[in-house]
Amino acid sequence: MTPPGGTITIAGKTVSRLGFGTMRLTGPGTWGDPADRDTALSVLRQAVHTHGISHIDTADAYGPHTAEHLIRDALYPYPEHVLIATKVGMVRPAPGQWTPLGNPFFLRATVEASLRRLNVERLELCYLHRIDPEVALDDQIAVLQAMQEEGKIGHVGLSKVTPENLRLVLKDQPVAAVQNVLNTNERFDPVVELCRDLDIPYVAYRPLDAGQLARTYGPRVPLDWLLNYGPHIAPIPSTSQPRHLGEIVASLQDGRA
């Protein structure tokens, strides 16, 4: 099976450049369970087993916790070639609300909880979901670094960061991937070029701008733009519908990407 979009190496594993984001598998406001749990499980299984997607992105805040449970129930035991990446460092006060929380004790507890929900001994790629401005960045990274040394995290990533954030972290800690928003409506991010220069994979979230670009142009045009921007870019579109996922993958299968 040809990996959609080609391949990229993230966290030491060669995976499909087209990944799958699980944010839309939850209820409205990224809150609670999906309206149809069986369909959500089917989307995950089709992504991996039918379409050859081997990069699944999630976060403990999706639900919260819902998406990680769905991934385990749909895909465990995980195929060896599949990378499950998750994120920690965000709390959810209510539907549609997101608050960074970088307290080191909280970060440690959330990593431990994600390990249990995903039923793994190690998170192969764990992102700091957001930098908490109320906590020293060094302290937030230090706890992830400590858990990496303990074998509970394989690789550390960063999400929604600036070039200055990335350079600061890199002084003491390798960064396996950066996840920022990038699409044809939001196309200017200086971190893209910095990641290219540093040979760090850039995982583009919201690549279809929450479906707006796909409705206007179809998925092909915005995904082509991302894949042709640079070989270090890996988009992670999200959908809750098997038909939409099939359309996204099919748009990349005419050999032009």
Q: What strand order describes the sheet that includes 83-88? A: 20-21, 55-57, 83-88, 123-128, 153-159, 177-181, 202-205, 233-235
Collapse the DSSP code of 220 into the 3-class scheme (helix H, G, I; strand E, B; otherwise coil) and give the result.
helix
* Residue burial 118-137, b: 16+ Cβ < 10 Å; e: rest: bebeebbbbbbbbbbeebeb
CB atoms within 10 A of CB 144: 27
Instruction: Let me know: does 152 contact 110? Beta carbons within 8 Å.
Output: no
Coil vs helix vs strand at 154: strand
Region at 5 (left for phi over 0; alpha for psi -120 to 50; beta for the rest) = left
Task: Give 31's DSSP letter.
Answer: B
> Which of the 8 DSSP states describes residue 244?
H
For 163, other C-beta atoms within 10 Å of its C-beta total 15
E-state strands within the chain: 7-10, 13-16, 20-21, 55-57, 83-88, 90-91, 99-100, 123-128, 153-159, 177-181, 202-205, 233-235
Instruction: Give me the helix-helix angle, 37-45 and 242-250, nearest 10°.
Output: 20
Name the phi and psi angles at 96, rounded to 5.
75, 0
The residues that are catalytic are 62
